Amino acid sequence: MGDNTIYRASTTAPVNIAVIKYWGKRDAKLNLPTNSSLSVTLSQDDLRTHTTASCSSTFSGPDTLLLNGSPQDVSGARTQACFKALRGLRAELETANPSLPKLSTYPLRIVSSNNFPTAAGLASSASGFAALVRAIANLYELHSSPTALSQIARQGSGSACRSLFGGYVAWDQGSAADGSDSLAREVAPASHWPEMRALVLVVSAAKKGVSSTTGMQTTVATSALFRARAEDVVPKRMAEMERAIAERDFDAFARLTMRDSNNFHAVCLDTEPPIFYLNDVSRAAIRLVECINAAAGKAVAAYTFDAGPNAVIYFLEQNAGLVAGTFKTFLGHLDGWQTELGNKLAGQAGVAADALEQKSVDVVKDGVSRVILTSVGQGPVKTDESLIDEKGEPVV
Amino acid sequence: MGDNTIYRASTTAPVNIAVIKYWGKRDAKLNLPTNSSLSVTLSQDDLRTHTTASCSSTFSGPDTLLLNGSPQDVSGARTQACFKALRGLRAELETANPSLPKLSTYPLRIVSSNNFPTAAGLASSASGFAALVRAIANLYELHSSPTALSQIARQGSGSACRSLFGGYVAWDQGSAADGSDSLAREVAPASHWPEMRALVLVVSAAKKGVSSTTGMQTTVATSALFRARAEDVVPKRMAEMERAIAERDFDAFARLTMRDSNNFHAVCLDTEPPIFYLNDVSRAAIRLVECINAAAGKAVAAYTFDAGPNAVIYFLEQNAGLVAGTFKTFLGHLDGWQTELGNKLAGQAGVAADALEQKSVDVVKDGVSRVILTSVGQGPVKTDESLIDEKGEPVV
């Protein structure tokens, strides 16, 4: 008499965008970084991965993962490392309590979907692995804390560890060879500084550049400036950024964010061969943020760029008009403004048009294909909305 | 009974393009650098400033300088420093030998012209100040060595000190507070490695970016990576580059040149606010050089970029087809190929067209307005061709 139950659990998990960047691994297998990093978790209303994990003794064959309707290869070392760690934790529970069903021995079926277009060029591996790990942990009814789970998600994708928390999140690099102290930690919940907003400028036709995994290892191996970044620059900035967040000091937050984005792209440029993620559209967006800050007389906007040309611009709700409103004056025709946050911009004046460098306006207008207007948000949320039905089949 | 003679002397002086870049001053008044640098002097057949200096007791009014037909302001501290130093050296001669005419007391009239369009966006201050100093030194019949004159030219424009020599030239940063040991020195004459060629890709509509004087001081003040460049990276590279030149090791020369260009632009990007000189056209040119080197199976071309988007690509005569020939296949319609060096390319095959990234070819083709094909060349050359006539008037 076997157990024919289809066990299911679902979660959503957020995207995060770092303000102190992760770039460089000291252990490529375990995804252990050469420096700590810090990010803001973005609202799942706008950007999230929704994942249902299921298992059953009735499932046959290997573990599977369906993402946005397409089967994914789960045989890679990273996904396998996550499965193995989670099954290990489940097996410990099963050993301690033999009455528990032996879920750790059942094949996994996982279905996942993103609420944002892959074409947006936003790194979905962070929300993807965070949701995967959180969903299986829910399925297995693990007692592990988000920090403990972050150690597992980190092995799937480094920055995924930060998506296990909402708000403002640090990933402490740690020093242990086994990665046991390379963990994510909440610096402050979203409620500590809920006014934080982000405008993402999605740059059109962004050809995929060098993958971040390859790129960061080439930087570590060849950049003459990398050590200064990892050993001197970032440790100081981590402390300064934590203080800026604790004190809700947007000026310091903005300056550190922009400096660290530029510092990260500088070591990319110092790589052999050089790695370029910023293009002329990115640079024009930087100029416009500089124009807006100059017009405002203080830092009201902070740009940051991951391993691609898309600009993420942080600002506070109180300056939504000055920042997002200014960009809307010439990007208002694009998708992405028709949201609650976008609608609030109506009637809020941007900076004077003549405060903006016209050439940069033209380049950004030509080169940006859509915007995403969002805010700081929560960590993973358990949901009853299942992407797998009672029979174990994907919900179409 | 005055001396009514119109004294005249003329020289030409070359442009130089650094392969280890000068970026940062430790003394802005004296133009003392934070690191040593090294350059290749380019042929004056293609790029030179021609300057005639004259003086006479019959001249009235202040010193004047006419450049390409336009009066220039000579009241700036830099030009004045050059005039003062040169007059001082002349006065010493006059004191030692009272029979000499008192040229040091006469007003100077200087006429100068460049054989390349200002619109080319090539820094003409190096050849300009080198020619100015050399012409006045000739006029004054100074016995000063080129190295001694380099100390004077340096005060006009830092990189001008390197244009007092041909071939391969180092500017040793020195350590004396008065700049007396911050001098240019010949690493090797052009004849040591005469096969060195350079292809300049002049990028259209290159809007003038941040001036290098302002830019480098902002970098020194704000870049977190700058010290590593000035104190660790460049000193090692100077030694390696001198060795590469001594041994005519193009592979090492090329790698160091490209790495140092990228390292320099990396600290520009790490500046607050960031300084961008490379644009999408520059980046596409980098990609094409990478494609050419990959197709050749070794480094046959080396790109470098000064404070602007123009690419300077060094290569050896024996690889002219592979490098310049390849660029000519899609830039052949532009001005600049109809020269002796350009004509030699006929019949020399470039790399296979499918070895080039097509997108980068398109971007370079759209963005480059002319080319300059040149080679390593000589230092300043005295000439009888005077830009000032016997009456002291500019030759039109």
Whether residues A263 and B273 touch (CB distance < 8 A) is answered with no
Confidence of residue A280 (pLDDT cuts 50, 70, 90): very high
Burial (CB count <10 Å: 0-12, 13-18, 19+), residue A214: exposed
Whether B300 has its CB under 8 Å from any CB of chain A: the answer is: no
- Across the interface, whether the CB atoms of A269 and B262 are under 8 A apart is answered yes
Nearest-by-Cβ selection for A270 from B255, B263, B276: B263
Residue ranges of B 235-274 with Cβ closer than 8 A to chain A:
255, 258-259, 262-263, 265-267, 269-274
- pLDDT exceeds cutoff 70 at B232: yes
- Nearest partner of B379 among B8, B40, B20, B33, judged by Cα: B40
Following DSSP, what letter does each residue of A311-363 receive, concatenated? Answer: EEEEEEGGGHIIIIIHHHHHHTTSTT--SHHHHTTTT---S-GGGS-HHHHHH
Q: Report the chain A residue with the minimal C-alpha distance to residue B289.
A: A273
Q: How confident is the model at residue B119, as a pLDDT? A: 54
Query: Under an 8 A CB cutoff, do B283 and A279 touch?
Result: yes
| Each residue's pLDDT tens digit, B141-179 | 999 999 999 999 999 999 999 999 999 999 999 999 999
Do the Cβ atoms of A286 and B263 come within 8 Å?
no
Which range (A208-212, A268-272, B226-230) has the least confidence?
A: A208-212
Tell me whether B224 touches chain A (CB under 8 Å).
Answer: yes
Domain segments of chain A: what residues? 7-188, 196-375
Q: Do B263 and A229 touch (CB under 8 A)?
A: no
Q: Give the architecture-level CATH label for domain A196-375.
A: 2-Layer Sandwich (3.30)
CATH of span B7-189: 3.30.230.10
Residues A108 and A82: beta-carbon distance below 8 Å: no
Edge to edge, the sheet with strand B381-383 lists: B70-72, B64-67, B108-114, B48-55, B7-14, B381-383
- Contact of B286 with chain A, judged by CB distance below 8 Å, is answered with yes
Is A312 an 8 Å CB contact of chain B? Answer: no
**Contact: A207, B266; criterion CB under 8 Å:** no
A381 in contact with B, Cβ within 8 Å = no
DSSP B272: S
Tell me the pLDDT tens digit for each residue of B6-33.
Answer: 999 999 999 999 999 999 999 999 999 9
| A264 to chain B: closest CA residue | B270
Strands B108-114 and B64-67 come out as parallel
Chain segment A31-86, per-residue pLDDT in tens: 999 999 999 999 999 999 999 999 999 999 899 999 999 999 999 999 999 999 99
The band of A260, judged by pLDDT with boundaries at 50, 70 and 90, is very high
Interface residue A93 vs chain B (CB under 8 A): no
- Closest-CA residue of A relative to B267 is A266
A77 touches chain B (CB under 8 A): no
Using a CB-CB cut-off of 8 Å, the residues of chain B touching A360 are none
β pairing state of A108-114 and A64-67: parallel
CB contacts < 8 A (A, B): 76
Q: Which residues of A touch B311 (CB under 8 A)?
A: none
Report the residue of A270, A275, A289, A290 to disrupt the B interface, i.e. the one with the largest count of B CBs within 10 Å.
Answer: A270
Residue with tokens 């030194």: B137
Residues B98-134: tens digit of each pLDDT: 999 999 999 999 999 999 876 556 767 899 999 999 9
Q: Which residue of A225, A263, A271, A360 to mutate against B (max B Cβ within 10 Å)?
A: A225
* CATH fold of A7-188: Ribosomal Protein S5; domain 2 (3.30.230)
- The pLDDT-based confidence of A207 (bands split at 50, 70, 90) is low
Q: Is pLDDT larger for residue B75 or for residue B121?
A: B75
Q: Which residues in chain B touch residue A21, judged by CB atoms under 8 angstroms apart?
A: none
End-to-end alpha carbon distance in chain A: 32
Q: How far apart are CA A316 and CA A197, in angstroms?
A: 6
What is the model's pLDDT at position A212? 86
Distance CA B104, CA B107 (A): 8
Give yes or no for a contact between A241 and A226, defined as CB atoms under 8 angstroms apart. no
- Residue B9: name the closest of B142, B136, B132 by CA: B136
Question: Which chain A residues are within 8 Å of B267, Cβ to Cβ?
Answer: 225, 266
- Contact criterion met (CB < 8 Å) for B269 and A262: yes
Residue of B241, B251, B270 to mutate when probing chain A, most A C-beta within 10 A: B270
**B331-366 tens-digit pLDDT:** 999 999 999 999 999 888 899 989 999 999 999 999
Query: DSSP string of B136-148?
Result: HHHHTT----HHH
d(CA A301, nearest CA chain B) in Å: 13
